[in-house]
Amino acid sequence: MHAGTLALFQRQSYDDSMTDSQVYREELALASQLEAQGFDSHWCVEHHFEDYSFCPDNVVYLSHLAAKTTTLKLATGAVILPWNDPLRVAEKVALLDELSDGRVIFGMGRGLSRREYEQFGIDMDSSRERFDEAAPMILNALETGYMEGNGKHFKQPRAAIRPAPRRTFKGRTTQVAMSPDSALEAAQNRAQMMIFTQKAMEDHNAEFEPYRKLYRELHAAPPPPPLMAGIAVCNEDAGRAEELARKHIAGYLLTVMHHYELMGEHFKNAKGYESYGQAVDMLRDMGLEGMANAYVDAQAWGTPQQILDKLAGWRKVIGDFDILFGFRAAGMPFADAENSQRLVAEKVLPELRNWSTAVAAA
């Protein structure tokens, strides 16, 4: 099992004492410990403009970490392709891979926030078309060293990627796939399917099956395991773990609901977001309290053993999976986030490695 961490770069709007600079200093303080603790990778989001999350260029952030680490894999989780020029994405990813000696995992996504699309002056209805054009251009460029395209949104004369990519990105590509269309697209792009845990594993597994089926058909190979990302809290005291989880994991959900306007009517008419539009009325019926309880229950939190039991339950339903732990969200105190990360490293990761060994032996 591959186990990494996810940096969210979130600031609570009501906390005027927390500066943007402090958010970055503390995220970097957590990231600086990961390699020694035995985590496989560190991932960071791309978001802009708001307290919800602000990492406008995750490749720049990872380049900083590349100089401070030697084995830690560095992953974009994700570059939002409709907001970026495909040629510049390929160039920056190739450069980061050169600087890090092949430690890059390229994760890509489509974006869901109307606010961010509006700030960039991009029609959200064009997101699917833009992603569908950009993804194959970038993936092909990272394999061949050249990019070209003549699509509706991106017209690119043949250009050389310099420094030229020296290693294949096959097996090092992920795609955020939170809708049925995106799951199928991930299979077409030969990318690992990345999701943010938010519901019962039986429901997630039903969404994985079309991806698995199409991946096998297109590539005549077994699909990679799903990559499960979520908010994690770990504490030796079960009561303290639950207190932190109920406050900060539920608090994170509230920021998600606000930032993405998930109850907004606009999703019902947004091209390429039909599955979100269909969920609007269901979310309203559940109410925020119901959604918060369901979301908290879907995450991995508790004592080290409770987390292991939770993950073992996931494994029974979906089979093998990779995992990303997000240790800091919704104003989580730094000391509690650092403690969660340390405990997972010391008492959860070794057991997860044993799971992988058992599978390999079998």
pLDDT bucket at 190, cuts 50 / 70 / 90 = very high
Distance CA(157)–CA(42), nearest Å, equals 34
289 compared with 310, residue with greater pLDDT: 310
Across residues 267-286, what is the average pLDDT? 79
13 compared with 307, residue with greater pLDDT: 307
Three-state DSSP at 107 gives strand
Distance CA(170)–CA(110), nearest Å, equals 20
Whole-structure pTM value: 0.95
Cα 92 to Cα 12, 98, 131, 162: the distances in Å are 30, 10, 18, 9
171, pLDDT greater than 90: yes
* One-letter amino acid of 73: K
Q: What is the CA radius of gyration of the chain?
A: 20
pLDDT bucket at 360, cuts 50 / 70 / 90 = very low
| Residue 3: closest CA among 35, 32, 28, 27 | 35
* Summary mean pLDDT of the chain: 94
Q: What is the pLDDT of residue 14?
A: 66
Across residues 274-283, what is the average pLDDT? 76
124, pLDDT greater than 70: yes
Q: What is the pLDDT of residue 269?
A: 83
How is 255-300 classified by DSSP, letter by letter? HHHHHHTTT-GGGGT-TT-HHHHHHHHHHHHHHHHHHHHHHHHHS-
Q: What is the pLDDT of residue 357?
A: 57
| Residue 110: closest CA among 284, 280, 271 | 271
Domains and CATH numbers, the chain: 3-361 (3.20.20.30)
Q: What is the pLDDT of residue 356?
A: 66
278 compared with 296, residue with greater pLDDT: 296
Across residues 129-141, what is the average pLDDT? 98
286, pLDDT greater than 80: no
Helix axes of 304-318 and 349-361: crossing angle, nearest 10 degrees: 30
Across residues 350-354, what is the average pLDDT? 94
Q: What is the pLDDT of residue 362?
A: 38
Q: What is the pLDDT of residue 283?
A: 75
Across residues 123-144, what is the average pLDDT? 98
pLDDT bucket at 220, cuts 50 / 70 / 90 = very high
